[in-house]
Amino acid sequence: MKLALHLILILTIGYLSIVVFFAILQNRLIYYPVRLLPSPDSIGIRQVKEIFFQTKDGVKLCGWFLVPPEGAPCLLHFNGNAGNIAGRSHLLEMARSNGWGLLLFDYRGYGKSEGAPRESGLYLDAQAAWDWLNLQKGIIPQKLILWGESLGCSMALDLASKQPSAGLALEAPFTSLMELSKELYPWLPVSLFLRSRFNNQEKIKQVQAPILIIHGRRDEIVPFQHGKILFESAPGPKYFLALNSSHNDIFDSGGDVYQEEIRKFVKSCLAEVLHRQ
């Protein structure tokens, strides 16, 4: 009996130690920033400006901006939780080839952006990017498409629920970080210590713009069902593209089908704006 109680005590202490470890280091398990960021010119990216802007709480952020041709739409992209904007440079070429503008920017704590990432701060970063495009570059909401990737879908959704835009595209979104964490770590009491919530399912109900959701059937990080649930929760107009891809290869696996869907969505968003006017 003493041996059994001793074993239970050891296992309990071990389990509680793991819980404390996850609770203390949760931000390091959510965010994987890369600080080193080359200039666009140094890696052969043409006609792209490195720009800086400031958030309402005084954090300076860095971005790469492809100026849209006169009268053309502009896309505002929100990265996933790893790397920095250098890893999304292929999107600039896609935008250029379609005659669009594009702003890639790094959240606080990523690339050359100041600060450290946290949920409330990332929402401020998204708003600051919208403000910079609208107030500094004169890009009206009717020409602006919000485009989120994985964790970046949360920033895109939060912004879209508060500010007008022509459309909202989401790649591999999750319903909420709480639900996703429970699925990824079913043996942890995440509801007791998780600080970041990113409640996308509630916010998507408030979006008053066309929505496109793209999700991979083989997504090993954010299950495909999350995309479907969000789609069902979204008001219309809404569109869904299912790809035979995993979490991190949507662009490569999707190929022409993926790019054509983005083109069609942008075109339909602009047509919807004209219809409403």
Contact present, 172 and 227 (Cβ < 8 Å): yes
Cis ω before 141 (30° cut-off from 0): no
- Annotated catalytic residue within 106, 113, 125, 150: 150
Phi first, then psi: give them for residue 238, nearest 5 degrees: -150, 150
- Annotated catalytic residue within 125, 158, 219, 245: 219
Kindly give the interhelix angle for 250-276 and 90-97, rounded to the nearest 10 degrees: 40
Tokens 């490569």 correspond to 252
Tokens of 35: 């600080």
247 is catalytic: yes
77 is catalytic: no
User: CA-to-CA distance for 80 and 28, rounded, in angstroms?
Assistant: 14
Sign (positive or negative) of CA dihedral 185, 173, 24, 111: positive
Closest among 245, 234, 243, 277 to 262, alpha carbons compared: 243
- Annotated catalytic residue within 233, 247, 253, 268: 247
158 is catalytic: no
Note the maximum CA span of the chain: 80
Active site amino acids: 150, 219, 247
